[in-house]
Amino acid sequence: MNTPGTRIIEWPTLLVMLLCYCVWGMSTTLLYEFSAVLGFVSLTLAITLHSSLQHEVIHGHPLSSRWWSEALVFPAMGLYIPYQRFRDSHLKHHYDPNLTDPYEDPETNYLDPEVWCRLPRTNQRILLFNNTLLGRILIGPLISQVIFLRDDFKQAKAGEGHITKAWILHFFGIIPILTWLWVFGSMPLELYFLSAYLGLGLLKIRTYLEHRAHNQPRGRTVVIDDRGLMAFLFLNNNFHLVHHMQPEIPWYKLPIMFDENRERYLKRNEGYLYMNYMEIFRKYFFTRKDPVPHPLWHSDR
């Protein structure tokens, strides 16, 4: 993260932020008027990129002031997840010894095997489909959102004031989005909601196999050596091991870090590597990579 005297502004990130907001604005107006399909697709990509920019802000980029960095991503472009809740749960996720833990890792898709066995058969089938890449894109956002809202409601009801505050701020962040759509936008609101949902679906491609069940925390985090459009949308978070080891490194330096220390990183994660996202689509679009119940849970406890 930023420390006094090390850097003040990361211009590549600011330029991407400017690009993101420009594409977002044009997608809901000029591009949508020119072509509804083009506007919808470009809006979905912009929403996905905005979430990646929020991730950069969580880790102390692009300014030395966290307050000003967070102000840059305050508009709730993605609608569904409060930034502060994303920040708090993601930072908890960064405690590597708990990666993939069904109870301690807020971003895992593994379940305690005993919980899995008690689920109704219909629920098991839904979660099994969710463990294919196609399922993760189509229904993964819905499953995550239902669980997320359920847990936040319980905690807020129990007196967790920071959760209530996060949602209040989130609603204020939605106001500029709705105001823009109402005053300037050509896109129907329901189509915007669908685009925001699909933006979450695209993000599920990134998170689909970021972490695997492994006896050692160092072997749980992937590297996807992709340099294309998907890598840009995810701001190189596909070099996920590098990011977990050095979260203070900005997105545009992650591929360089990996290239300069490739053997070291792959030795650390015991070769958990994919060459690009096409390989992942080819292998797992219709096929489950992992079981839903954590395969090593009993040995981990």
What is d(CA 69, CA 55) in angstroms, rounded to the nearest whole number?
11
Q: What is the mean pLDDT of residues 77-85?
A: 97
At residue 1 the predicted structure's pLDDT band, cuts being 50, 70 and 90, is very low
Per-residue confidence (pLDDT) for residue 8, from 0 to 100: 79
Q: What is the DSSP letter of 114?
A: H
Question: How many Cβ atoms sit within 10 Å of the Cβ of residue 288?
Answer: 14
**pLDDT for the residue 130:** 98
pLDDT band at 120 (very low <50, low <70, confident <90, very high): very high
- pLDDT tier at 6, thresholds 50, 70, 90: low
Cβ atoms of 222 and 272 closer than 8 Å: yes
Whole-number Å distance between alpha carbons of 51 and 69: 14
- What the block records as the tokens of 23 is 């594409």
On whether the CB atoms of residues 91 and 185 are closer than 8 A, the answer is no
Global pTM?
0.94
Q: What is the pLDDT of residue 260?
A: 96
Say how far apart CA 247 and CA 99 lie, in whole Å: 15
Residue 71, both tokens: 């102000």
Give the distance, in angstroms, between the CA of residue 166 and the centroid of all CA atoms in the same chain.
18
Q: What average pLDDT does this structure show over 37-57?
A: 98
Determine whether 273 is exposed, middle or buried from the number of CB atoms within 10 Å of its CB (0-12, 13-18, 19+): middle
- Give residue 4's pLDDT band: very low, low, confident or very high (50, 70, 90): very low
Percent of the chain topping pLDDT 70:
96
pLDDT of the residue at 300: 46
d(CA 114, CA 103): 13
How does residue 5 score in pLDDT terms, banded at 50, 70 and 90?
very low
Q: CA 11, CA 22: separation in Å to the nearest integer?
A: 16
pLDDT tens per residue across span 194-204: 999 999 999 99
- Region of 7 please: left (phi>0), alpha (psi -120 to 50) or beta: beta
pLDDT range class, residue 7, cuts 50, 70, 90: low
What's the confidence (pLDDT) of residue 2?
47
Mean pLDDT of 24-47: 98
* Residue type present at position 224: I
Per-residue CA distances from 108 to 36, 112, 131, 222 (Å):
35, 11, 12, 14
pLDDT value for 299: 47
- Phi, psi (deg, nearest 5) at residue 224: -115, 110
pLDDT value for 134: 98
- State residue 169's pLDDT score: 97
